[in-house]
Structure 1
Amino acid sequence: MSSKSFWQSGHRPTLIMAFLYFDIAFMVWNMLGPLAPIIAKQLDLNPAQKGFIVAVPTLAGAVLRLVNGLLVDRIGQKVTGALGQIVVMAGLAVAWHFGVSSLEGLVAVGVILGFAGAAFAVALPLASRWYPPEHQGKAMGIAGMGNSGTVLAALFAPMLAKAYGWNNVLGFALIPLAAVFVLYMIFVKDSPHQPPARTTSQYIAGYFKMLGEGDAWWFILFYGVTFGGFVGLGSSLPSWYTGELAMTPVHAGYATAACVFAGSLVRPFGGALADRIGGIRTLSLVYMVAAALLAAISMAPVNFVVMFPLFFAVMATLGIGNGAVFQLVPQRFRHEIGVMTGLVGFGGGVGGFYLASSLGLAKQWMGSPAPGFLVFSVLALIALAGLTSVKKRWRTTWGAAIQGVQI
């Protein structure tokens, strides 16, 4: 264990930029969620189509995280992040210049936004590799707090769309993207603690090797519930507020921003809590509380006074879980953190895609998104059962080898 304090360890400028880069990337990744009510009205989309366009960036980001997980170990975190930012800026510039007026065009934009979502697999290794095991929860929590970018999207995208049209929001997004790109190139530095260089075929084999590890699948499931729930709700709440409560897109953005802010703010707390009482104990509490809240959401009367506190609480709970998962991942897979961040991030993205699209389908087929919330509650209980089944083995095998760090 290092005798240095958290702020004496690692590289502070890189940690701060990992957060800022992830924050703006997350803002862009989630833009279609707050814009969906406006876009759906203009393009006459049904609830299932609206849920789908919101979910596409999430799925694209999940797949691209696998690519980034490979690249951060192959060419370095800084270069990988820079390439992703260039792709996003170029894609948004083209979409803004030519305009988007069809469902197919929206899907293409969603794929481009997926490159921003893949920043997850860059920002977390960028921070993680600078810090020793006893500070992993805090470092990953601070970098991961960049998911607060969803707050910025929820607050500003509807207002800008109302004033200038939703297509011009794509152009406005280029301003913070360009500013952060410049700062990123100046201040970010890869950690000297990098894994040994391997060929591309070895990295691909590394993914298959990790998929042969039972623990990897558990982490994919655990993050699929915590992060998947967080990002799926963050993308879907604007449509829920406008569709179920007839709120304006701007007011729905305010309500969504408050809920997302809660989940983002507590992510470092989740990592720190996991450092203090153990990641397994923290996650167990998260899944129990999240399952109860999601079940309550599916059955509660549909009014703002009841539903807003429930959404606020479940987003905060899932945010704590996000920090706790990534307190555990570097301990179990420290030398494969790039590959595992990609795999676990993929699981989170798939979870978000499932939740966002299932809420739209439930609304389309059953007249209410409530069944979608209930099914996700069951998934949280499955994650709890899985965690309970492996916790004894984890504590007596790999956890026991990490002195001074509770799991």
Structure 2
Amino acid sequence: MNAARSAKGRWIEDWNAEDEQYWEQGGKQIARRNLFLSVASEHIGFSIWSMWSVLVLFMTPAIGLGFAPDEKFLLVVTPTLVGALLRPSYSYAVTRFGGRNWTVFASAILLVPALLTVYFIQRPGTPLWVFLVISALGGVGGGNFASSMTNITSFFPRRHQGWALGLNAGGGNLGVAAVQLLGLLVIATAGDTHPAYIAAFYLPLIAFVCLLCAAKMDNIAAVRTDPGAQREALGQRDTWLISLLYIGTFGSFIGYGFAFGLVLQTQFGSTPLQAASYTFLGPLLGSFARPTGGWLADRFGGARISLLTFAGMAAGTGVLLIASAQHSLPVFIGGFTVLFVLSGIGNGSTYKLIPAAFNRQAEASIVAGHDATKAFAAARRLSGAAIGISGAIGALGGVAINLAFRGAYGGGSGSGTPAFLSFIGYYAVCAAVTWTVYLRRERSASATARASRATTVAADARPTESIHA
């Protein structure tokens, strides 16, 4: 395969993944190599982004960092917020600087929060504001998701994008579980007074991934931003409604992933070892559940699976209320684990609503007499922009969840009941939107398709003479 590169770096000027011959004669190998390295970079980014969900478990008077629960929740909220706000600019940066170049930079900058954490995390008496600055810098890891997804979308043909993006997103999400498993390993082997080991572990990994990405990844010239796509997508009602739903799914996943260990410590008095023993399981199962949600949505419809997901999440949150009232740690952990799995399924099914919504717009445009090729090209363009927007807005749900926990536990009540009640209310709103807007659309579209098939069958079954009568 002749993949021309400019003299200034690893730029492929003639990328055309939609050409099957081009794809089979070398394009597939290049795309998969870039996907593997993108997953590695995004995975570490998620780990650095969520690292403070583990570090706060170590912050006790034993190491001279006895912060109050509401202060610890603030340390968890800060990187969540920064990561969410950075996503749009990270997505744009790929189209400006190239996927390889930006991945190298986005990976290398992770060294800054990791090094600062190693230096400050075990210095007794360090003020809260210093850790807030460091945790904010750790938020850059949350932006990696947007740039990685934008980059990988361009490498794969449309017929393989679902698989590639699912693998890319799932591999990144696993970074949350990985850093929590690392925290458990550190506590189990070195004790709960050595949080610096967690950040130090990632220093050589970050350096290695940076070098590997610089040596093996590619930029493709075909990645060009359409300056009007995001503006146009922002003017679409579906963009905002699906973003609202994604707050409920991905926001829950990332928010619970960041807060779970701290909730166990605050509400049940768990030790760092006890909390770390449970925190990794939910994010791990939720990450693996995401592709399942996409598969179920393909088979049964994104709206139907999303509606069932929100109903299940409301019920699961009700279980947390019961467990809190009875002070039952096993039931509480079981309920939280179910919420992680359901949020992962919902991530996959909710994302499936985006192309479906814009494809329906394209079909309506074709019925109105517009060109089919242009209509579906516009649908793909808007879908890509809407995915980026909803990913950024959805991450803000993690901020809301941690702020809700901070408010609930900050008063010294030791109960998350106010937060759980607000979550149930939000899931109810999401279920109502899914039912009234998207499930009814799917049923209407299915009914229309069945009627069309029935008309065709009836016409085929008519006697020839009656057709010509």
TM-score (norm 1): 0.86
Q: 2:290·2:347 contact (CA, 8 Å) conserved in 1?
A: yes
| 1:186 matched to 2:215 | yes
Aligned counterpart, 1:152: 178
Aligned counterpart, 1:404: none
Give % identity.
26
| 1:367 matched to 2:393 | no
Q: Could you tell me which of 278, 281, 295 is aligned with 2:318? A: 295
Q: 2:101·2:219 contact (CA, 8 Å) conserved in 1?
A: no
Aligned counterpart, 1:403: none
**Displacement, 1:38?**
1.8
**Displacement, 1:373?**
1.9
Q: 1:298·1:371 contact (CA, 8 Å) conserved in 2?
A: no
Gaps of 5+ in 2: 1-17, 359-378, 449-469
Distance 2:293 2:212 in 1: 28
String of CA shifts for 1:292-343, please: whole Å, max 9, x gaps.
1112212323322211221111101101111223334456463256643442
Q: What CA RMSD, in Å, does the superposition of the two structures yield over aligned residues?
A: 2.9
Distance 2:103 2:384 in 1: 13
| 1:21 matched to 2:41 | yes
Decide whether aligned partners of structure 1 residues 177 and 327 sit closer, same or farther in structure 2, where only a CA change above 3 A counts: farther
Q: 1:55·1:353 contact (CA, 8 Å) conserved in 2?
A: yes
Q: How does 1:84-103 map to 2 (within 5 A)?
A: 84-97=106-119, 101-103=126-128
String of CA shifts for 1:384-404, please: whole Å, max 9, x gaps.
21122322457879xx9xxxx
**Displacement, 1:247?**
2.4
Q: Could you tell me which of 92, 105, 108 is aligned with 2:130? A: 105
Aligned counterpart, 1:305: 330
Aligned counterpart, 1:137: 162
- Amino acid of the structure 1 residue aligned with 2:211: V
Q: 2:297·2:349 contact (CA, 8 Å) conserved in 1?
A: yes
Aligned counterpart, 1:238: 261
Distance 1:236 1:275 in 2: 32
Helix, strand or coil for the counterpart of 1:247?
A: coil
Distance 1:309 1:95 in 2: 32
Aligned counterpart, 1:344: 390
- The higher radius of gyration belongs to 2
**Displacement, 1:259?**
1.4
| 1:71 matched to 2:71 | no
Q: 2:108·2:206 contact (CA, 8 Å) conserved in 1?
A: no
Aligned counterpart, 2:342: 317
Aligned counterpart, 1:405: none
Aligned counterpart, 1:39: 59
Aligned counterpart, 1:335: 381
- Amino acid of the structure 2 residue aligned with 1:225: G
Q: 1:48·1:364 contact (CA, 8 Å) conserved in 2?
A: yes
- Amino acid of the structure 1 residue aligned with 2:100: K
Q: 2:92·2:147 contact (CA, 8 Å) conserved in 1?
A: no
* Range 324-333 or range 271-280, more displaced: 324-333
Choose between structure 1 and 2 for higher RCO, CA contacts under 8 A separated by at least 6 residues: 1
Gaps of 5+ in 1: 401-407
String of CA shifts for 1:20-58, please: whole Å, max 9, x gaps.
222221111111111212225442322211111111111
Distance 2:327 2:244 in 1: 30
Q: 2:33·2:217 contact (CA, 8 Å) conserved in 1?
A: yes
Q: Could you tell me which of 422, 426, 429 is aligned with 1:382? A: 429
Equivalent pairs, count: 390
